[in-house]
Structure 1
Amino acid sequence: RVTLDNVPSWRERTGVSVDVPGHGPVTGDVAYGGNWFFLVSNHGQSLDLNRVAELTDFSTRIRESLVRNGVTGRDGAEIDHVELFGPPADPQNHSRSFVLCPGLAYDRSPCGTGTSAKIACLAADGKLQPGDVWRQESIVGSLFEAGYRRDGDRIIPHITGTAYVTGTATLLLDPDDPFQWGIRR
């Protein structure tokens, strides 16, 4: 198990409604936790692993509705993650989530940035206090435990979970490439 502190996180807007084709109105919060999220609790979907295709389609339609309605993060930032919440499979946990990421991928974890956005909303609503622990399940049943400390009008989330090495890479840097270490200003 590992624990990390995430970036400052906050809720940007609450109670944002968009009309989702084939479904009707969906209401959620816009929040930042390292990425911009639209977080939806009341959506009428069952968050089961065998429904990933349907959840992906539904979440994609939400994201398209956000774009169509001009709903963005701060300074026009694209909301490129949609997170659906529902009852946990394990009653010891607080919530279960499905996270649609860019490229129509879904997160196998409860999503560190999404969990950070979620607890920023809970903190804004007074439903999670500093020092409290929020237990967030993913669509596959993996678990993060999250808490936070205040940082002015934002929070600094800390996330605890299990991590696995899923790949390695070798970077080749050409000594003649003037940008081998990136573009620096």
Structure 2
Amino acid sequence: NNVGVLNMCGHGTIGLAVTLAHLGRIRPGNHLIETPVGNITATLHDHHRVTITNVASYRYRAGVELDLGQEGRICGDVAWGGNWFFLAKDHAERIAYDNIPRLTAVTVAIRTALMRQGITGADGGEIDHVELFGPANDGADARNFVLCPGGAYDRSPCGTGTSAKLACLMADGQLQAGQTWRQQSIVGSIFEARGEWQGERVIPHITGTAHVNAESTLLFDLADPFCMGIQG
């Protein structure tokens, strides 16, 4: 994340597991990982594949209507999947890579409207992710565009966002427990997801791949006034 630490990151956890395997630190099997929102399990498979069993996810509010000013109005759900999301599928935007500037502008307007209207997650949690859905290609069930807290977009299908989406789909009876949902990202990558009920919440299982593409050595010279980064 370009503005700070996330509560949880699905694709980051998948990448972590593959990296640890590359370094010889872990073997295929289940591995418990502590995150700021609770412990999760990363199951390392063959061929760079990892399944994460995420924290319990749920829909907090359904059918939330926002006034976007000149952009009109939009209706969506507020859900938790390890981060707080506003998710909308009924919109006029084209979910495509060449439409990213427009998608960014609309999702920024959504996040601004959430703050202006005082809409939050449970216990006042900031809704700092916005997810728009549309038709997919490559046999996936949906394609998404996810705005992250710093205004950047998620190049993965978003593990926490897919978890939130599972919770909404299962709450509406549109997806059954154990049924696979294939989520495509704005760049075309795919997560396979399924959920199981735990009381009134959903335990998501998200499967994806990661590939190590560099081994680097970072040097921190204490004589460098910016060795720990540039801060305004």
Give me the TM-score of the superposition, normalised by structure 1: 0.88
> Corresponding residue for 2:207?
160
Residue deviations 1:125-182, cap 9 Å, x none? 111111100000000000000001111110110001112336768698xxxxxxxxxx
For 2:160 and 2:78, how far apart are their aligned partners in 1?
Answer: 13
Q: Please state if 1:146 is matched with 2:208.
A: no
2:229 corresponding residue in structure 1: none
Structure 1 residues 55, 169: CA separation in 2 closer, same or farther (over 3 Å shift)? farther
2:166 aligned partner: 119
Counterpart in the other structure of 1:177: none
Query: What's 2:10 paired with?
Result: none
- Give distance in 2, aligned partners of 1:35 and 1:10: 11
Q: Structure 1: state its 5+ residue gaps.
A: 173-185
Change (3 A) 1:36 1:166: farther
The equivalences for 1:1-185 within 5 A come to 1-90=49-138, 92-165=139-212
SS in 1 for 2:70: coil
Q: Which amino acid aligns with 1:139?
A: I
- Determine helix, strand or coil for the equivalent of 2:197: strand
Question: How big is each residue's C-alpha offset from its partner over 1:49-90, in whole Å with a ceiling of 9 and x where there is no partner?
Answer: 011111111100000000000110001110000000000022
Higher relative contact order (CA 8 A, sep 6+): 1
CA distance in 1: counterparts of 2:121 and 2:219, whole angstroms: 33
Whole-angstrom distance in 1 between the partners of 2:70 and 2:100: 17
| Deviation at residue 21 of structure 1 after TM alignment | 2.2
Work out the number of aligned pairs and report it: 171
Equivalent position amino acid for 1:17 in 2: E
Number of the residue aligned with 1:179: none
Deviation string for 1:11-61 (max 9, x for gaps)?
000000001122211000000000000000011000110111111111000
Q: TM-score, normalised by structure 2?
A: 0.71
Give the whole-Å Cα distance in 2 for the aligned partners of 1:19 and 1:165: 43
Deviates more, 1:156-165 or 1:68-77: 156-165
Matched position secondary structure for 2:79: strand
- 2:150 is paired with a residue whose SS is helix
CA distance in 1: counterparts of 2:204 and 2:117, whole angstroms: 30
Paired with 1:58 and 1:83, the residues of 2 have a C-alpha distance of 11
Distance 1:32 1:162, change over 3 A: same
More divergent stretch after superposition (20-29 vs 36-45): 20-29
CA RMSD of aligned residues (A): 1.6
